[in-house]
Amino acid sequence: MSRNLVIVGAGAGGASVAAEARRRDPSLEVTMIERGGHVSTAACPMPYYIQDLIKDEKMLVARTPEEFRESGVNVRLETQVEEVDRRQGIVRLSDGIMVPYDILVLGTGTVPIVPRVPGVDLEGVFMLKTLPDAMAIKTYIREKRCRKALVVGAGFIGLEMCEALRGQGIETELIDLAPRAAMMWDPEFTALIEEELLRQGVKFHPGTGLESIEKGSEYQLRLNSDRDVLEADLVLIAIGVKPNSTLAAAAGLRLGATGAIGVNFSQRTSDESIYAVGDCAEVYHRISCKWTHIPLGDIANKQGRVAGINIGGGAMMFPGVVGARCFKVFDLGVAATGLDENEAAEAGYHPESVLLWGNAIAAAMPGEKKLGLKLVADRSTGRLLGAQAVGLRGAVERVNALSVALAAGMTLEEIGYQDFAYSPPFNTPWDLIHVAAQKLAKSIGR
């Protein structure tokens, strides 16, 4: 008798489970239930689609419902799951239908945080979460010939959207309650980000909140901040997301301290026949050694595959993450990995750090090359704990090499003499990684 695998949510995580589990065990009866009209969509490229660097929304879909159906996966679109009945082993859908499961996977993603101010539901006010959101924004820009946009939230999506909107020729202002953009990065680095915004014609208002949005003349939106009244014909709200774990909570599954669904290394929840993957689930952070919530597409893909392997009869543990993340804002690459000093101290380490400016490529070579690199390490062991990098080139690649070093538990001494492939167009004989690692090793007396 074949087992019923029911997957709730067909984003990167859920779709990965379906593909992997079905490939490993073709006898599985797989049903994927999706609230929206698309499956297997990639959220990360959406700003580039809005910017029209990516022309066709089909490019944001890894696999269509038809392709899933051809491979033998049942796909139910536009269908909400109302309840998980664990005792009976069924999920109840919005249309009243009951779907029995032997194994259930929750890939319910996140919900955007909506500011509690009047006017957020007006036409022309958007959040960017789903493919229809992206399509609606792109259509709105074209149809209304938008000239002036306001972005609320200077996190990485807000910053990417500033670039997208400017790329569409739209005058763009950015507000955030926080005193700086991209608060997860060091002030020296966020200063560079803010310079880049200025250089690209984006006016940034730090420490500025949204009070209300009012509709003025045709397609004009009025917005009250702490200081000013700004006008815009498009408002993009990107102040963060929270894990969509209501279904799991209602079913009595254990949630983690982050509010996301608690899972183990096999992606199993507190109910051994229920898995959770992607942005709705927690993920183990290998440096803080805590379960945390990091809603990123590449993690969702990995968790989905791990769950799919285990469901399909294989054996796989997800080793967790080191906290690697990056984004591009205009010409600037911004990346980080591991822990910052506060997170490190909270985890019980004795953090020390160094922040250096240097060159991404050989000083003698032409072209932009200024690169900033910060390393955080533990004083008692010399172990690397985290890194941040910002620059017109080379930031992401430094952080990714250091992400491997973090996963391996390397010390500053090891990193300070790490063998890298060197050539003047790509880096420097003593890379900024070496210089920073040796300097920090020295300053902690190692």
Q: Kindly list the residues in this chain that would bind its own copies in the complex (CB under 8 A).
A: 12, 42, 44-45, 48-49, 53-54, 59-60, 286, 296-299, 301-302, 306, 318-328, 333, 335-337, 362-366, 396-397, 399-405, 407-408, 410, 414, 417-427, 429-430
Q: Is 402 in a helix, a strand, or coil? A: helix
Rounded least distance, CB 76 to its own copies, Å: 25
Rounded least distance, CB 363 to its own copies, Å: 7
Catalytic option among 44, 146, 289, 326: 44
DSSP 280: G
**Closer to its own copies at the Cβ: 46 or 81?**
46
Do residues 105 and 6 touch, judged by C-beta distance below 8 A?
yes
Which helix (H) or strand (E) covers residue 135, if one does?
A: helix 131-144
**Six token digits for residue 345:** 């101290």
**Closer to its own copies at the Cβ: 1 or 363?**
363
Cα torsion 303, 404, 322, 289 to 10°: value is 100
Rounded least distance, CB 320 to its own copies, Å: 8
Q: What is the DSSP string of 57-89?
A: GGGGBSS-HHHHHHTTEEEE-S--EEEEETTTT
Rounded least distance, CB 325 to its own copies, Å: 5
Annotation says 326 is catalytic: no
What span, in angstroms and rounded, lies between the C-alpha atoms of 385 and 405? Answer: 9
Q: Name which of 43, 332, 320 is nearest 185 in CA terms.
A: 332
Q: Name which of 301, 302, 247, 241 is nearest 269 in CA terms.
A: 247
**Closer to its own copies at the Cβ: 242 or 328?**
328
What span, in angstroms and rounded, lies between the C-alpha atoms of 287 and 337? Answer: 10
By the 10 Å C-beta count (0-12 exposed, 13-18 middle, 19+ buried), 227 is classed as: exposed
Do residues 301 and 283 touch, judged by C-beta distance below 8 A?
no
Rounded least distance, CB 74 to its own copies, Å: 25
Looking at the DSSP bridge assignments, the partners of residue 268 are: 275
Q: What is the DSSP string of 300-321?
A: HHHHHHHHHHHHTT-------B
Which helix (H) or strand (E) covers residue 298, if one does?
A: helix 297-311
**Closer to its own copies at the Cβ: 175 or 444?**
444
**Six token digits for residue 412:** 């500053």
**Closer to its own copies at the Cβ: 345 or 401?**
401
Rounded least distance, CB 327 to its own copies, Å: 5
Overall size of the chain counted in residues: 446
**Closer to its own copies at the Cβ: 151 or 335?**
335
Rounded least distance, CB 332 to its own copies, Å: 11
DSSP 279: G
**Closer to its own copies at the Cβ: 201 or 424?**
424
Active site residues: 44
